[in-house]
Structure 1
């Protein structure tokens, strides 16, 4: 970053990646550790049960990691636009840049990438995060951006989400994001309960809880979708307009929620129509026990009993006691 009148005019650091940040990476690493640990013990499982265990555990881990990871991703809504726009205040210089907006459950990320990166003696490569979580004040983050002298396109987009903005979308996005995050944490709890129930003989309850998990994931999507009820102000850069739509985290959550529904329905259906197949998949087959008929009276002919004994070994069997 070059000097402007003897000072650094802009904040030079990228504070947070819009898709993968430290929290998301930690979640993925934790679940990958569980997966690797299971793969180490899978050779000890014999027969066809090895395949069943692998499918069950990996699918369950995928559901769990998605439920937790999408809490911290920033691409529930995304949008890009290529425009010629002013780069900094009090300057008429224009730059050609790609401007991106990425909305998450806890804030927005705004990216500015020069095309090319080096223009007007500057390195144009910014990615700024503005949070609206309970412990973060969005307007305060925006004020800090003004003090640091962030590029004008970033401040222009960030201003649309402030509480003082005429757009009025800050409250809608903030509340919708909080409710979506809360329902996802409930879905994570029900996912844990479903895994515990699947280790018990009555598997249908695990299927029911898997349906509840899918339902709460769908509820989180419905909660976040309520932001569409509020009219969004147009974000224009000259003749170009930045349009946003549902991003990867939204569609991934929808896919995993539908997977939970399909899996839960399959478990419940097999419980009522093919319980043996369901127990085989979960490796819960009971050992076959031979059934013996109860005999109330036993009649033994003493002649055959005494004939089988030697003369030196007299019979000790008392026929009257039988």
Structure 2
């Protein structure tokens, strides 16, 4: 009888699955990294997290709703300039700029998402690209507010004395904390009824509408949430860089973000993080070759990855794991 109860208790004992263990290990490594790396490497990792936040939004829009956007660099810029203007003109604390940047870009995304409902595919991509193209000249025109072509130079968040952290380490942990919070929110959203509705819209709009899904409502919300995440990334980027300029937010940024999420893996949990690393490190590592190398290598790697792994780096990792796991299991037997 005792044995039976013990075995029943053991069956009810909670167990950790592999994704949970992988996330826990990754967080431990992420927390230890800034104490083991040089300041410049910590700065690079911080920018990877910034890009990952923006790519979460783009993944939500394209990977889970099926809407194509080439204008997310504009939302990135709006979030960056919202934070910069609040700091430069009103001397607002850094952390107070984040909720304002979220609200501004959410409303902007919602406002642009409603008229975009009539468009899809390349037509929607063209309209969003137009937004990214004209935003730069618009920022230069209002120089009294935005600093014009010269931009705005800002202070960076100073680490509290009680932390004992250097500035680069403090910025990294701020970016890491914000990334984790948004990742949890996105995962929770996708597992909810709303997430299932977004996936239904992506897979078959007619079938989703038949099942009672309000297409216009969910598409508009997805666009707004996606813009909000891009704005959050822009705000954190302003803290990390300490400078904003219209030339930093050209249409190339929008195309780079799109390439990053496609390479990372559309519709995957790890796609934004892998895409952020690809977006930062490929141009950086090839910069030493010559001035043309980053663009050339970036393009060639996109072609190679799309050929080898059509579902992106996240899909390639998953496929490799499924191939290796049976081999390891056989060896143990």
TM beyond 0.5:
no
Higher normalized strand content (fraction of residues): 1
Q: Which structure carries more relative contact order (alpha carbon 8 Å, separation 6+)? A: 2
- The structure whose residues are more often helix, as a share, is 2
Report the TM-score, using the length of structure 1 for normalisation.
0.25
- Pick the structure with greater CA Rg: 1
